[in-house]
Amino acid sequence: MNTDIAQRVKRILAEQLNVAPEALRDDATFDDYQADSLTRIELMLRLEEEFQLEIPRDDATRLEDVKGAIAFIEARAVAARP
């Protein structure tokens, strides 16, 4: 796990989900934090902006938990490196 990426993803998740970063659990789903559809869209947009990548709609709908979001961004960030 890339610690820098994980911390950045968690910071964004915490901001968007209105929770303290240290309160985020890797196994928690976005539903555990009462994230509605608008919050999820805003979350994906923030992740795209932060990491300068595009999250396809199909992938975005499958991202349901903290660990999955971190893994997805890590995989895309590594793939995007020259």
Instruction: Specify the residue for token string 């789903």.
Output: 29
pTM to 2 decimal places: 0.88
As annotated, the active-site residues are: 36
The CATH number linked to 40 is: 1.10.1200.10
The pLDDT value given to residue 14: 96
The pLDDT value given to residue 21: 87
What number is the average pLDDT over the span 4-18? 94
Quote the DSSP letter at residue 19. Answer: S
Domain count for the chain, please give it.
1
Q: Which residues form the domain of 47?
A: 3-80
Using one digit for the tens of pLDDT, what is the confidence trace for 26-65?
Answer: 999 999 999 999 999 999 999 999 999 999 999 999 999 9
